[in-house]
Amino acid sequence: MNDSKRILEVKDLTIHYFVDKSVVKAVNGISFELDQGESLGLVGETGAGKTTTALGIMRLVPNPPGRIVSGSILYKGEDLTKKSEEDMRRIRGHEISMIFQDPMTALNPVLTVGDQIAEVVSLHQNVTKKEALRKAMEMMEMVGIEGERCNEYPHQFSGGMQQRIVIAIALACNPSLLLADEPTTALDVTIQEQVLHLIETLKKRFGTSLILITHDLGVVAEVCDRVGIVYAGQIVEYGTLEHIYNRTAHPYTLGLFGSIPNFDKKVRRLKPIAGLMPDPANLPSGCVFAERCPNAREACRCGDIPVTEIESGHFVRCLNFVKEGK
């Protein structure tokens, strides 16, 4: 990637939750890069560590019990892990915004949607209350909702419209980086398509970089430039859409594609991935996917599994791609 265009660089990010006498290892050495205007999809099962990674970038990991144990989050060359809370408040919503998964819990039920959008504008821009409300109405129009409805409350909107309001809040100050945490999970297919089209249109309009968190590989293929496959707090495969979809390498990624219906092939049953994700409070040594992997051997169950670049820009965390003698 071009360093001059790079907006985000996450290096060996590790986030743990310290609960009672156990340590929940939610994120374990995740690394990736993102350029200005680029889209990255983080894909994996529930509990893989995708949302915790996004909360780490926003510095919103609840503490206690959570804590960024190690690693760095370089945003425009500055390490967010070293920023004060006051600095982060200036960055959140202005430079970096997040679309949360459930609009029902993200929106305040006792405030009008106009006031909630205007609040973000007032916090980060030197405008009057009237100007902030006018900006809120403009943002509502931009996401396909009549601006005159700014005095209504969240419960007066459908689920799809509530998600559009959340998107309007996230984009109100034209952020450079947008984190979208499963923004279409609770929506029906028709509204899902509309929301994805809206995010893509606004991203291009403002030149916003995007990190999309999802478990839907179809959504990633439609929106993203690069993909990180996340399993048990690690990125096990990383590359472009071409790499991940057409030259799939890691056994877990192969398993994900194998569990998706393929209209080009006539099969009687899908092939689910056997077993369950390991307990993050008791992760196995070696490869975290070994217990579910059809190709696992004894060497996979001990020591650190290195990340191998099998072709330019295509990285895999698997012993099957480590050459002998390395």
Q: Kindly compute the dihedral angle of the four CA atoms of residues 317, 318, 319, 324, in this order, to the nearest 10 degrees.
A: -60
Query: In sequence order, which residues have a C-beta less than 8 Å from that of residue 320 and are 6 or more positions away?
Result: 251, 295
- Residue 324 pLDDT level (bands cut at 50, 70, 90): low
In this structure, is residue 210 part of a structural domain? Answer: yes
- Residue 117 confidence (pLDDT) above 50: yes
By the 8 A CB rule, do 103 and 163 touch?
Answer: yes
CATH number at residue 209: 3.40.50.300
- Residue 104 pLDDT level (bands cut at 50, 70, 90): confident
What's the whole-number mean pLDDT along residues 295-316? 93
- Residue 96 pLDDT level (bands cut at 50, 70, 90): very high
pLDDT of residue 101: 81
Cα 244 from chain centroid? 17
- Residue 189 pLDDT level (bands cut at 50, 70, 90): confident
Residue with tokens 């809370």: 85
Closest alpha carbon to 163 in 137, 138, 144, 136: 144
Which residue range forms the structural domain that includes residue 79? Answer: 3-95+175-321
pLDDT of residue 199: 82
In this structure, is residue 228 part of a structural domain? Answer: yes
Taking the C-alpha atoms of residue 7 and residue 4, their distance in angstroms, rounded to an integer, is: 8
Pinpoint the alpha helices (H) of the chain: 50-58, 85-91, 103-106, 113-124, 129-142, 159-171, 189-206, 217-223, 241, 251-258
pLDDT of residue 3: 57
pLDDT of residue 185: 72
In this structure, is residue 166 part of a structural domain? Answer: no
Taking the C-alpha atoms of residue 98 and residue 210, their distance in angstroms, rounded to an integer, is: 10
DSSP letters along 107-147, please? S-TTS-HHHHHHHHHHHHS---HHHHHHHHHHHHHHTTS-G
Cα 181 from chain centroid? 5
User: What does the block give as tokens for 80?
Assistant: 């967010």
User: What does the block give as tokens for 237?
Assistant: 């495969």
In this structure, is residue 167 part of a structural domain? Answer: no
In this structure, is residue 89 part of a structural domain? Answer: yes
Angle, helices 129-142 vs 113-124, to 10°: value is 120
Phi/psi of residue 84, nearest 5 degrees: -75, 165
- Residue 88 confidence (pLDDT) above 50: yes
In this structure, is residue 188 part of a structural domain? Answer: yes
Cis, peptide link before residue 65, omega less than 30° from 0: yes
Coil, strand or helix at 50: helix
In this structure, is residue 153 part of a structural domain? Answer: no
What's the whole-number mean pLDDT along residues 49-59? 96
User: What does the block give as tokens for 140?
Assistant: 């509502």
Total count of domains within the chain: 1
Residue with tokens 């890691």: 250
- Residue 302 confidence (pLDDT) above 60: yes
Phi/psi of residue 118, nearest 5 degrees: -65, -30
In this structure, is residue 154 part of a structural domain? Answer: no
Number of helices followed by number of strands (H, E) in the chain: 10, 12
DSSP letters along 168-185, please? HHHHTT--SEEEEESTTT
